[in-house]
């Protein structure tokens, strides 16, 4: 952070007007009206060329950038999109754009290699702390996690295309080049765990969309809601239902969203927390962190709820008690100790009841059916009871736990424990029926699209076959 301010400071120091926007006075209807901006430092002619040409070619991109903090700090297109001619993701067609342009400014002098892909490694040149924290998070490492534990992938139960259209939009793709161009099955993509061709993991644009890259946007719940929604992880719905979300809906327009990074203050800038306020932004003595595993005491998404350090596929290097205290410190900006402790006692009790009353007996029953040979464990989802068991923990069980942790009683009960009971009873009834009759479960013989590759991505796991 200190380093970043230095850069900005140095930039402000040298006042040299290079490009002044002429668009403001002669803006045609339906053209973006960009904010006045001044280039406060001389910039290399290569970088000025990007701006001049792209302002005409892509007024939307230009306006977004011109309105960003980057533009005020004289961070140019070239600072982020710079590439080497030999980079696998270099844009091979781009040189051709310079043909006529270069004639005007001296043949060939301005042509430089660029890449459309801008990775956490590129951002890390100026934001090393954020990139480092992000790099150890479950966001950045999700491709490793899902390929270790997810039966859709491990058993090949959906097609590669279904994955590209669904899973990978949120989790990220393994970027690939095909015939010299980015492979359309892997690009465009801004999933949280995208594996980039420079070896870095993730995409900072998942929350800070280009080319504004604003903290204001990332502080709002909608930035997370694109992925954190739906039957299996309805965090945005839970938030909307909570008192905190009600207050955001009623008064969010009055919150101060753009206060400087690290200074966004509970009570002063916002009256009730957003996702970012509880999970990422600095508050009280707790520092901002781009590692979203911090502040968590449970793995609420897991079949059996465990501590983050006990999560086998990707054990966190955290101590749950320390992290619980950090989360409590967030609450204590606005609530007393008794209120805060009471909330977490309730959450922990919900976790315990889910684990003991619902999950463990269901898991034991499933294991029994496999052991008795009444069900086949070689593939998941092709027998009805497997789906029932899955929905018990993956849908209803998660909703009960997350609803309780984030103050949404409707999710905790009606979408949560109530549904768990229904599911549990029908799962147990059918299981006992099979055991009584010593009857093998029906197995889908024409399971649709169970054609996906089961080879773990080489870019993450190395060669495995
Ligand atoms: C003379 C005009 C011109 C200049 C100068 C220019 N570009 Fe472009 N650039 C274009 C056009 C036109 C496209 C869109 C091509 C298309 O849509 O197929 C493009 C595409 C791009 C893309 C997307 C490439 C892809 O593969 O998707 C990036 C990134 C980019 N330019 C960055 C830059 C940067 C950075 C600079 C300065 C170093 C720059 N451009 C200079 C005209 C220019
Ligand atoms: C702070 C870094 C940064 C700056 C500055 C920046 N870009 Fe980008 N740009 C990105 C990122 C990140 C993406 C998304 C690509 C990704 O996900 O890897 C992107 C994507 C693009 C794309 C391809 C996406 C599309 O919608 O076609 C173009 C073209 C582009 N930028 C042009 C520009 C131009 C022109 C400028 C200067 C006016 C500029 N960029 C400034 C980071 C930057
Ligand atoms: C060449 C250096 C440089 C690069 C590369 C760079 N940034 Fe920045 N960034 C800065 C500076 C300097 C500031 C501070 C600007 C200010 O405070 O006015 C900043 C500010 C930001 C902010 C805070 C904006 C706000 O609203 O206060 C975000 C978010 C950000 N950058 C994200 C990114 C991302 C994501 C990337 C990569 C895609 C990136 N930056 C690449 C230099 C850079
Ligand atoms: C709409 C975005 C989205 C889609 C589509 C999506 N996921 Fe997820 N996935 C998430 C989010 C968000 C979480 C985090 C849940 C949590 O921690 O509460 C998650 C969690 C997971 C986890 C648990 C990871 C852990 O740490 O235990 C696995 C495994 C997983 N997803 C696999 C998949 C697969 C495979 C697909 C496609 C068949 C898929 N997801 C589709 C957003 C998505
Ligand atoms: C999961 C969402 C998310 C992702 C992904 C993300 N950020 Fe952020 N980022 C935030 C939030 C929220 C803030 C606001 C923190 C605050 O309130 O001050 C922020 C703030 C920032 C800031 C302002 C300084 C600071 O630390 O507060 C920079 C710079 C930044 N992010 C860079 C990055 C870079 C670089 C990446 C990729 C390595 C990245 N971000 C990925 C959510 C995200
Ligand atoms: C582009 C999709 C996407 C966006 C946007 C996104 N997330 Fe996530 N998030 C995921 C996925 C996928 C996972 C699951 C990773 C895993 O466990 O494999 C996840 C996991 C998490 C976790 C659980 C971490 C853990 O250790 O169990 C938290 C907390 C989280 N996200 C918070 C946020 C917040 C807060 C924001 C917004 C500021 C946000 N996310 C934005 C996709 C996203
Ligand atoms: C009032 C603070 C608060 C707000 C607001 C909030 N959360 Fe949470 N969140 C929590 C707490 C507390 C937990 C449970 C922490 C633990 O493990 O003890 C949690 C758990 C989670 C988890 C589960 C992590 C896991 O174990 O898999 C995810 C994912 C998550 N939150 C994302 C979000 C998203 C996305 C939003 C906004 C839509 C949001 N949260 C809003 C406090 C909050
Ligand atoms: C920025 C201030 C702020 C922070 C931070 C904050 N809250 Fe709140 N919270 C509020 C306000 C304001 C209300 C509404 C109080 C009322 O109903 O009068 C509220 C309400 C609640 C409620 C009542 C819910 C209901 O349905 O009545 C609970 C429980 C709660 N918060 C727990 C927490 C926990 C736990 C944390 C930390 C993980 C937290 N809050 C963080 C401001 C905050």
Asked whether residue 32 is assigned to any structural domain, the reply reads yes
Cβ contacts of 307-316, under 8 Å, gap ≥ 24: 313/144, 313/145, 313/148, 313/149, 314/138, 314/141, 314/144, 314/145, 314/148, 316/138
Please give the distance, rounded to the nearest whole angstrom, from the Cα atom of residue 316 to the centre of ligand 3.
28
Neighbouring residues of 232: CB distance < 8 A, sequence distance ≥ 6: 394, 395, 398
Asked whether residue 169 is assigned to any structural domain, the reply reads yes
Q: Same domain, yes or no, for 125 and 104? A: no
Q: Same domain, yes or no, for 61 and 130? A: no
Out of 160, 186, 206, a domain closes at 206
Backbone angles phi, psi at 358, to 5 degrees: -105, -55
Predicted local confidence at residue 42, as pLDDT: 73
Would you say the CB of residue 227 lies under 6 angstroms from ligand 6? yes
Predicted local confidence at residue 419, as pLDDT: 98
Containing domain of residue 75, as a range? 2-117
Please indicate whether residue 465 or residue 228 has the higher confidence score (pLDDT).
Answer: 228
Asked whether residue 97 is assigned to any structural domain, the reply reads yes
* Nearest CA residue ID for atom 12, ligand 2: 118
Asked whether residue 334 is assigned to any structural domain, the reply reads no
Query: pTM, whole model, 2 decimals?
Result: 0.94
Asked whether residue 351 is assigned to any structural domain, the reply reads no
Would you say the CB of residue 235 lies under 6 angstroms from ligand 7? yes
Q: Same domain, yes or no, for 100 and 163? A: no
Would you say the CB of residue 51 lies under 6 angstroms from ligand 2? yes
Q: Same domain, yes or no, for 31 and 105? A: yes
The per-residue DSSP string of 105-144 comes to HSTTSS---BBS---HHHHHTT-HHHHHHHHHSTTTTHHH
User: What is the CB < 6 Å shell around ligand 4?
Assistant: 138, 145-146, 149-150, 152-153, 158, 163, 166-167, 169-171, 227-228, 230, 233, 301-302
Predicted local confidence at residue 243, as pLDDT: 98
Q: Same domain, yes or no, for 46 and 142? A: no
Please give the distance, rounded to the nearest whole angstrom, from the Cα atom of residue 359 to the centre of ligand 1.
54
Asked whether residue 178 is assigned to any structural domain, the reply reads yes
Cα–Cα dist 391/389, whole Å = 6
Please give the distance, rounded to the nearest whole angstrom, from the Cα atom of residue 407 to the centre of ligand 8.
8
Q: Same domain, yes or no, for 78 and 171? A: no
* Nearest CA residue ID for atom 2, ligand 4: 227
Q: Same domain, yes or no, for 11 and 67? A: yes
Out of 54, 86, 117, a domain closes at 117
Ligand 1 atom nearest residue 115's Cα: 29
Number of domains in the chain: 2
Lowest mean pLDDT among 66-70, 106-110, 204-208, 445-449: 106-110
Q: Encode pLDDT of 279-314 as tens digits.
A: 999 999 999 999 999 999 999 999 999 999 999 999
pLDDT surpasses 60 at 30 = no
The residue to mutate among 406, 408, 411, 416, having the most atoms of ligand 7 within 8 angstroms of its beta carbon, is: 406
Identify the three-state secondary structure at position 328: helix
Q: What does the block give as tokens for 62?
A: 């230009």
Cis before 188 (ω within 30): yes
Q: Same domain, yes or no, for 78 and 103? A: yes
Q: Same domain, yes or no, for 74 and 169? A: no
Q: Same domain, yes or no, for 88 and 73? A: yes
Cα–Cα dist 35/67, whole Å = 6
Q: How confident is the model at residue 156 (pLDDT cuts 50, 70, 90)?
A: very high
Instruction: Please answer whether residues 387 and 393 qualify as being in contact, where contact means their C-beta atoms are separated by less than 8 angstroms.
Output: no
Q: How confident is the model at residue 390 (pLDDT cuts 50, 70, 90)?
A: very high
Instruction: Please answer whether residues 416 and 370 qualify as being in contact, where contact means their C-beta atoms are separated by less than 8 angstroms.
Output: no
Please give the distance, rounded to the nearest whole angstrom, from the Cα atom of residue 142 to the centre of ligand 6.
9
Out of 68, 90, 117, a domain closes at 117
Q: What does the block give as tokens for 277?
A: 């306020």
Q: Encode pLDDT of 316-355 as tens digits.
A: 999 999 999 999 999 999 999 999 999 999 999 999 999 9
Q: Same domain, yes or no, for 12 and 98? A: yes
Predicted local confidence at residue 314, as pLDDT: 98
Q: Same domain, yes or no, for 133 and 27? A: no
Instruction: Please answer whether residues 89 and 116 qualify as being in contact, where contact means their C-beta atoms are separated by less than 8 angstroms.
Output: yes
Q: Encode pLDDT of 368-387 as tens digits.
A: 999 999 999 999 999 999 99
Ligand 1 atom nearest residue 102's Cα: 1
């Amino acid at each position: 952070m200190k380093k970043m301010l230095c850069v900005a400071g140095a930039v402000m120091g040298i006042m040299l007007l290079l490009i002044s926007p002429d668009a403001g006075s002669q803006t045609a209807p339906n053209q973006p009206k960009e904010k006045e901006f001044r280039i406060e430092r001389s910039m290399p002619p290569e970088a000025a060329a990007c701006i001049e040409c792209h302002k005409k070619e892509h007024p939307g991109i230009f306006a977004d950038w011109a309105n960003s903090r980057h533009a005020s700090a004289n961070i140019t297109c070239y600072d982020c999109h710079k590439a080497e001619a030999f980079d696998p993701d270099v844009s091979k067609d781009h040189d051709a754009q310079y043909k006529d342009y270069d004639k005007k400014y001296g043949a060939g002098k301005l042509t430089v290699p660029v890449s459309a892909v801008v990775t956490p490694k590129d951002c890390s040149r100026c934001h090393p702390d954020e990139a480092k924290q992000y790099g150890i998070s479950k966001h950045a490492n999700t491709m490793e996690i899902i390929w270790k534990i997810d039966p859709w992938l491990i058993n090949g139960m959906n097609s590669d295309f279904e994955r590209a259209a669904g899973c990978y939009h949120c989790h990220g793709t393994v970027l690939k080049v095909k015939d010299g161009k980015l492979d359309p099955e892997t690009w465009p993509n801004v999933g949280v765990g995208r594996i980039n061709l420079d070896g870095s993991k993730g995409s900072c644009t998942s929350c800070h969309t280009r080319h504004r890259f604003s903290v204001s946007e990332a502080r709002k719940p909608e930035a997370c809601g694109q992925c954190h929604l739906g039957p299996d992880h309805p965090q945005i719905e839970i938030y909307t239902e909570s008192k905190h979300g009600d207050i955001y809906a009623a008064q969010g327009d009055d919150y101060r969203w753009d206060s400087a990074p690290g200074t966004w203050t509970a009570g002063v800038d916002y009256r009730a927390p957003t996702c970012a306020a509880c999970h990422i932004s600095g508050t009280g003595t707790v520092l901002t962190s781009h590692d979203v595993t911090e502040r968590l005491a449970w793995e609420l998404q897991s079949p059996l709820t465990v501590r983050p350090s006990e999560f086998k596929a990707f054990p966190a290097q955290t101590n749950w008690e320390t992290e619980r205290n950090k989360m409590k410190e967030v609450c204590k900006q606005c609530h007393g100790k008794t209120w805060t402790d009471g909330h977490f006692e309730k959450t922990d009790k919900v976790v315990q009841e889910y684990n003991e009353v619902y999950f463990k007996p269901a898991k034991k029953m499933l294991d029994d059916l496999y052991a008795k040979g009444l069900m086949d464990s070689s593939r998941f989802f092709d027998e009805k009871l497997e789906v029932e068991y899955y929905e018990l923990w993956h849908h209803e069980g998660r909703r009960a736990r997350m609803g309780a942790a984030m103050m949404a009683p409707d999710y905790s009960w009606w979408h949560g424990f109530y549904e768990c009971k229904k599911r549990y009873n029908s799962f147990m009834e059918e299981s006992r029926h099979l055991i009584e009759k010593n009857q093998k479960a029906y197995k889908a013989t024409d399971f649709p699209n169970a054609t996906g590759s089961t080879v773990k991505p080489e870019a993450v796991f190395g060669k495995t076959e």
